Amino acid sequence: MGKEILLALIVSVALASCERAEDIDSLVTADSTVFFKTSGGLSYHFSDFAFYDSSAYIFYFRRVHEELKDLESGTFAFFDKADTIYKGNLWPVYYNSIAPGAFILVPPIFYGNYVLAIENWRTGKPDPRNNLHMISVLKSHGMLHSGLSLQVTSVESNGTRLTVSIRIINKDTEKLLILDPEKMGTPLFHFFTNGIIVFDNADHFVFTGNVQSQVPDPWNSWKTEWFTELDPDNFRDYTLQYTLDNVLPSGTYTLWFTFPGLSSQLSKDQLYQGDARIFLGEVQCAKKFTL
């Protein structure tokens, strides 16, 4: 998603004052073929889904579902033969609070109506999204895809310059098309991500990427020349540089890096370019480093 949109969401999270959670007992179903259900009455079977990307926590439908654009606040749950795998909230973007666990932002303005992106901003709690039950069920239905893996391979600082090296690995069984910062240029790449966030050893915020981003023209467009194709088990290395506001004192730090994909820019019929799939969503990685 665009840097401006992400910053707006961070501000909303910072205003968090309460937790909303609704009774989900009404979602329990006796239909053993139901996989996903909402408190508003939507119900989907395993056969409605094509696959799940476990790296970006995104479910892909076999076809477009226009009814997804009308999702409102409420709850959802995933099922395995009527047993609940996990549950969460349908969370409107205007709420001034953080969802208490797994959630789906509604309306789903950041993606097309052919995916369900499951979010979780409660990093201090167990993350249910890839729990063992879910992974086992997805494997049994042939729906599990592993997407991308991100590694921060090195972090170096020279005064006010921070150099970050990353590796993107295709863990999927399909060819994936990834946004390539070398082809796009650093400013355009950082329209889709803030890049880095740095915390000190006491988990105090220190720095976030301050690259002047370049907005695509038009803002919600994309181009095939932005991408690099990765075969399964192949990887690409990139190095990005950031200018620090101040020289960091000696000490231990934690750097979070977010590698982005596309989101709402892409329609379902554009998802595959030949035999390669454009990666949607994002992957994150943390790296401790010492100065």
In tens, the pLDDT along 80-114 reads: 988 999 999 999 988 888 888 999 999 888 999 99
Q: Report percent pLDDT > 70 for the chain.
A: 89
Structural domain boundaries of the chain?
A: 3-140, 147-290
How much is the CA Rg of the chain, to the nearest whole Å? Answer: 20
The pLDDT-based confidence of 233 (bands split at 50, 70, 90) is very high
Average pLDDT, the chain: 89
Q: Over 60: is that where the pLDDT of 149 sits?
A: yes
Q: Over 70: is that where the pLDDT of 121 sits?
A: yes
3-class SS at 290?
strand
Q: Assess contact for 45 and 35: CB atoms under 8 A.
A: yes
pLDDT tens-place string over residues 153-211: 999 998 889 999 999 999 999 999 999 999 999 999 999 998 999 999 999 999 998 89
| Residue 276: strand pairing partners | 175, 273
**How many Å apart are CA 149 and CA 289, to the nearest integer?**
20
What is the pLDDT, as a whole number, of residue 209? 87
Residue with tokens 């709402």: 264
Angle CA 123–198–215, to nearest 5: 95
The pLDDT-based confidence of 281 (bands split at 50, 70, 90) is very high
Q: Over 70: is that where the pLDDT of 21 sits?
A: no
Amino acid at 240: L
What is the pLDDT, as a whole number, of residue 176? 98
CATH architecture of 147-290: Sandwich (2.60)
Q: 251 — phi, psi (to 5°)?
A: 155, -175
Q: Over 80: is that where the pLDDT of 19 sits?
A: no
pLDDT tens-place string over residues 57-88: 999 999 999 999 999 999 999 999 889 999 99
**How many Å apart are CA 65 and CA 265, to the nearest integer?**
17
Lowest-pLDDT range of 5-19, 117-131, 143-157, 236-250: 5-19
- If one counts every other C-beta atom within 10 angstroms of the C-beta of residue 221, the result is 9
Q: Over 60: is that where the pLDDT of 280 sits?
A: yes
* Range among 14-28, 67-81, 113-127 rated most confident: 67-81
What is the pLDDT, as a whole number, of residue 24? 54
What is the pLDDT, as a whole number, of residue 42? 94
